[in-house]
């Protein structure tokens, strides 16, 4: 008698979503509302994802002087004219409606003077960043998870996708101990910066599930990708104290007045430039010998957070203040040490406007997909992309499964 692993029973659904970040949750909620029987399988706990760590906010053109066209123009410029403008047009024109959809699902954005509290983020020509304090991603994922859990969708936590094959009329997936067959699959498994940083011996802002194997499965199935080599450094990783290394200091610090300074106290770059330019400027400044050193001998520059008005910090940066003050550093009383940290996979699987990859019946949304940001993403457009294209991919996958 040998040992035979148990043969898992096959579960049948219309739509299988892989991943429980903002994009997977938006896709699953939307597919279920479109009438599909939905399964959502994810690697760890349902709460475990990059989306929940997103602090700064989400972009949408609500300002009186703003428009989806200006938003799109900023994306084009920040991407160095590499973004897919058909996807960008959808992203920016559906942004306001998507914010209202999130509100209907329970997200309460920070308001002031009868409107949304808007900040200007790096590369933006207008104030356009909506926030929920500095825990926007947590608020969005919590609301969408609660909506999903109250629906007919079935969730499979701790069930990583380990194989995916095409069968007649759909797909067969192995997710942990489960075998799931579905008419359409939505890949929403995020990026790979956690693994990439480990391999480079660097810090990353990402959660440990961001390892990228799902992209590899899709490529093996024949899906096309773009800009996969374009990884983004967040300009402001925490450099000191040790427990803040790998923490992404919200870009809203700079939106509310913080500036980058070298060892001589000089501003050496436009602190609200596109992310890749700001990160490059910090690397260059350190290379020129004008950086500072952390107590454990790492390179850094100064982020002068003392310039942030106290009221703005209390409304829009309470979590950041709490984290630093718990480590006996008051960012409103002294500058903090910062250095770029590996943060985001700009490229990914090619998708069309419905979120379908180049393989029929295989959809993708969120960080695993490419095109919307070209080779350099603007802050606040990732959560937006997750929700705009998650909704689209969920609806289209439900339609595909019903066809």
Ligand X SMILES: Cc1cc2nc3c(=O)[nH]c(=O)nc-3n(C[C@H](O)[C@H](O)[C@H](O)COP(=O)(O)OP(=O)(O)OC[C@H]3O[C@@H](n4cnc5c(N)ncnc54)[C@H](O)[C@@H]3O)c2cc1C
Q: Which residues make up the interface to ligand X (CB under 6 A)?
A: 18-24, 41-44, 48-51, 53-58, 136-137, 160-161, 188-190, 205-206, 209-210, 213-214, 248, 344, 366-368, 379-383, 386
Q: Which residues contact 302 (CB under 8 A, 6 or more apart)?
A: 260, 261, 262, 263, 265, 292, 335, 336, 337, 338
Name the catalytic one among 128, 275, 391, 395: 275
Whose Cβ is closer to ligand X: residue 23's or residue 262's?
23
- Residue 357 C-beta: closest distance to ligand X, Å: 14
Distance CA(137)–CA(22), nearest Å, equals: 8
Residue closer to ligand X by CB (options 53, 307) is 53
Pick the closest to residue 214 from 232, 193, 187 (CA basis): 187
Please state, in angstroms and as integers, the Cα–Cα distance from residue 38 to each residue in 14, 154, 155, 392, following that order: 6, 6, 9, 15
Closer residue to ligand X (CB): 211 or 262: 211
Cis peptide before 241 (omega within 30 of 0): yes
Residue whose CB is less far from ligand X, 53 or 290: 53
Chain-centroid distance, C-alpha 260: 24
| Closest CB to ligand X among residues 33, 178 | 178
- Say how far apart CA 389 and CA 7 lie, in whole Å: 36
Nearest residue to ligand X by CB is: 21
Smallest distance from ligand X to CB 263, Å: 27
Least Cα distance to 335 among 266, 284, 269, 402 occurs for 266
Task: Measure Cα distances from 193 to 147, 206, 230, 344 in Å.
Answer: 29, 6, 11, 6
Q: Which is nearer to ligand X, 214 or 357 (CB)?
A: 214
Q: How far is the CB of 210 from ligand X (least distance, A)?
A: 6
CB of 196 to ligand X, least distance (A): 13
Q: Annotated catalytic, 375? A: no
Q: Please choose, from the candidates 142, 119, 144, 123, the residue with its C-alpha nearest in 3D space to the C-alpha of residue 131.
A: 119
HEC string for 114-179:
CEECEECCCCCCCCCEECCCCCHHHHHHHHHHHHHHCCCCEEECCCCEEEEEEECCEEEEEECCEE
DSSP string, 165-222: EEETTEEEEEETTEEEEEEEEEE-----HHHHHHHHT--BSS-TT---HHHHHHHHTT
Q: Cβ 2 to ligand X, closest distance in Å? A: 29
Are 68 and 356 in contact, with CB atoms under 8 Å apart? no
Least distance between ligand X and beta carbon 220 (Å)? 13
CB of 307 to ligand X, least distance (A): 21
**Of residues 260 and 393, the one with the C-beta less far from ligand X:** 393
Show Cβ contacts of residue 342 under 8 Å, excluding neighbours closer than 6 positions: 193, 196, 197, 200, 202, 203, 204, 205, 206, 231, 232, 233, 234
Query: How many angstroms separate the CA atoms of 297 and 245, rounded?
Result: 13
How near is the Cβ of 182 to ligand X at its closest, in Å?
A: 14
Nearer to ligand X, 300 or 368 (CB): 368
* Catalytic residue annotation: 275
């Amino acid at each position: 008698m040998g040992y035979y692993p148990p043969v898992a029973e096959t579960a049948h659904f219309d739509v299988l979503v892989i991943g429980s970040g903002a994009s997977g949750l938006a896709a699953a909620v939307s597919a279920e509302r479109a009438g599909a029987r939905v399964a959502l399988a994810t690697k760890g706990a349902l709460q475990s994802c990059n989306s929940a760590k997103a602090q700064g906010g989400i972009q949408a053109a609500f300002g009186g002087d703003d428009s989806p066209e200006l938003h799109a123009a900023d994306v084009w410029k920040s991407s160095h004219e590499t973004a897919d403008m058909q996807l960008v047009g959808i992203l920016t024109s559906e942004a306001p409606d998507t914010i209202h959809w999130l509100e209907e699902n329970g997200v309460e954005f920070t308001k002031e003077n009868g409107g949304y509290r808007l900040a200007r983020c790096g590369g933006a020509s207008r104030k356009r960043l909506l926030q929920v304090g500095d825990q926007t991603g947590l608020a969005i994922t919590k609301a969408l998870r609660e909506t999903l859990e109250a629906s007919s969708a079935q969730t499979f936590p701790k069930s990583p996708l380990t194989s995916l094959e095409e069968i007649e009329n759909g797909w067969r997936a192995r997710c942990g101990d489960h075998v799931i067959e579905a008419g359409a699959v939505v890949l929403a498994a995020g990026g790979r910066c956690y693994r990439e940083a480990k391999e480079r011996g660097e810090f990353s802002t990402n959660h440990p599930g961001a390892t990228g194997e799902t992209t590899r499965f899709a490529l093996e199935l024949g899906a096309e990708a773009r800009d996969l080599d374009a990884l983004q450094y967040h300009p402001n990783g925490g450099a000191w104290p040790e427990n803040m290394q790998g923490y992404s200091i919200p870009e809203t610090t700079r939106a509310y007045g913080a500036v980058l300074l070298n060892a001589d106290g000089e501003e050496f770059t436009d602190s609200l430039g596109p992310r890749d330019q700001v990160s490059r400027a910090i690397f260059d400044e350190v290379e020129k010998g004008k950086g500072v050193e952390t107590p454990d001998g790492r390179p850094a520059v100064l982020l002068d957070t003392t310039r942030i008005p106290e009221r703005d910090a209390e409304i829009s940066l309470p979590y950041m203040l709490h984290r630093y003050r718990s480590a006996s550093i008051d960012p409103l009383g002294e500058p903090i040490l910062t250095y770029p940290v590996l943060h985001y996979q700009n490229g990914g699987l090619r998708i069309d406007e419905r979120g379908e990859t180049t393989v029929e019946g295989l959809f993708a949304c969120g960080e695993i997909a490419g095109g919307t940001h070209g080779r350099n993403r603007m802050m606040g457009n990732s959560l937006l992309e997750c929700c705009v294209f998650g909704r689209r991919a969920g609806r289209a996958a439900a339609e595909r499964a019903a066809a």
